[in-house]
C-alpha cells in the first residue's frame, strides 16, 4: 500500500511544484492541495491520510498552530518554510522533517522517503508487534531490539514515544503512538497510567494516590487510570 498525503501552502506556485515532484515518486499519492487552513481542516476531519505537508508561514493561522490543534490521531507532518530560523520552532510537535524553500526535487524525495519508511515500520509493528520477551523499533535509522524486561517506562509525544530502559541513560525514541504500544504490552505488565505514560509494573519503587515512582522519577497517574493502581 502506498503513502497518501495532502499539501497546504498559501502560495499556488509552491503547490504546483509539490504536485510535480510528487508525480516522480512511486507509491506516493498527493490526494489534495489547499491554500487555506479551514478547507484543509475540513478535509482532515472527513478523511484519513498518512502525511500532511504544510507551510509554517500561513497568513490566517501558522502551520505550527494548525498542527497543534489537530487531534491526537493526526497524520505524520512535514513542515515547509522559507525561513531557516523557523525550522526548529515546531520541534515539540515531533514532525518527520522540515523542508526549506526553495525545495529541490532531491530533498523533497528524501523527506517523503523518510516518511514512507517510518509509516511502513509502524505498520510492521502493528502486524507483528511483540514477541514473548522483545520487539524491534526503528530509531536513528536502525532497528533497535527492546527487551520487555528492561523497560522502565514509556513516554508518549504525539507520533513518537520515548522508551526508558534499565541501565541506559538515554531513552530510545521511535515513531509510534503510545496507545498502540499499550495494547501490545499489557500482557507483559506494562500498563498505561496516563495519556502520556506507560509503566512497567515490575519496576515500580513507590506509589501515591496519583503518582508512581519508577527509577527515581515520579510519574503522574491520570484520573481515568486510577483504578489500575490495584494491580501494582
The CATH code of the domain that includes 110 is 3.40.50.2300
CA dihedral over 164, 165, 169, 172, signed as positive or negative: negative
Q: How many domains does the chain have?
A: 2
The CATH code of the domain that includes 189 is 2.40.50.1020
- Per-residue pLDDT, 87: 55
Q: Among 62, 91, 126, identify where a domain stops.
A: 126
What's the mean pLDDT in 118-133? Answer: 66
Residue 66 CA to its chain's centroid (Å): 16
**Phi-psi region for residue 77, left (φ > 0), alpha (ψ -120 to 50) or beta?**
beta
Kindly state whether residues 177 and 119 are assigned to the same domain.
Answer: no
Q: Nearest 5°: CA angle at 142, between 136 and 148?
A: 25
What's the mean pLDDT in 159-186? Answer: 87
Kindly state whether residues 119 and 135 are assigned to the same domain.
Answer: no
Q: How many CA atoms are closer than 13 Å to the CA of 174, on its beta-carbon side?
A: 26
**Cα distance between residue 68 and residue 109, in whole Å:** 25
Flag the least confident range among 89-98, 122-131, 152-161, 174-183. 122-131
pLDDT, tens digit, for every residue of 22-73?
999 999 999 999 999 999 999 999 999 999 999 998 988 889 899 988 887 7
Q: Among 102, 126, 150, identify where a domain stops.
A: 126
pLDDT, tens digit, for every residue of 139-169?
876 778 899 999 999 999 877 899 999 999 9
Q: Among 83, 104, 126, identify where a domain stops.
A: 126
Strand, helix or coil for residue 30: strand
| Residue 69: domain span | 3-126
Kindly state whether residues 97 and 122 are assigned to the same domain.
Answer: yes
Higher pLDDT, 87 or 157: 157
- Per-residue pLDDT, 107: 96
Kindly state whether residues 159 and 117 are assigned to the same domain.
Answer: no
- Per-residue pLDDT, 131: 63
Kindly state whether residues 83 and 144 are assigned to the same domain.
Answer: no
Amino acid at each position: 500500500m502506498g503513502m497518501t498525503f495532502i499539501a497546504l501552502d498559501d502560495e499556488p506556485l509552491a503547490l504546483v511544484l509539490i504536485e510535480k515532484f510528487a508525480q516522480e515518486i512511486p507509491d506516493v499519492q498527493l490526494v489534495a492541495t489547499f491554500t487555506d487552513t479551514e478547507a484543509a481542516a475540513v478535509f482532515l476531519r472527513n478523511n484519513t491520510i498518512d502525511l500532511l505537508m504544510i507551510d509554517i508561514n500561513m497568513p490566517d493561522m501558522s502551520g505550527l498552530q494548525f498542527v497543534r490543534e489537530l487531534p491526537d490521531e493526526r497524520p505524520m507532518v512535514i513542515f515547509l518554510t522559507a525561513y531557516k530560523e523557523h525550522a526548529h520552532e515546531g520541534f515539540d510537535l515531533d514532525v518527520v522533517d522540515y523542508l526549506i524553500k526553495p525545495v529541490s526535487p532531491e530533498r523533497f524525495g528524501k523527506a517523503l522517503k523518510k516518511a514512507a519508511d517510518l509509516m511502513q515500520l509502524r505498520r510492521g509493528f502493528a502486524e507483528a508487534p511483540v514477541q514473548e520477551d522483545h520487539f524491534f523499533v526503528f530509531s536513528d535509522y536502525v532497528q533497535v531490539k527492546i527487551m520487555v524486561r528492561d523497560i522502565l517506562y514509556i513516554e508518549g509525544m504525539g507520533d513518537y514515544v520515548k522508551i526508558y530502559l534499565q541501565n541506559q541513560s538515554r531513552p530510545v525514541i521511535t515513531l509510534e503512538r503510545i496507545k498502540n504500544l499499550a495494547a501490545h504490552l499489557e500482557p507483559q505488565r506494562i500498563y498505561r497510567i496516563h495519556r502520556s505514560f506507560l509503566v512497567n509494573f515490575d519496576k515500580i519503587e513507590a506509589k501515591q494516590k496519583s503518582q508512581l515512582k519508577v527509577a527515581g522519577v515520579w510519574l503522574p497517574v491520570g484520573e481515568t487510570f486510577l483504578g489500575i493502581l490495584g494491580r501494582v
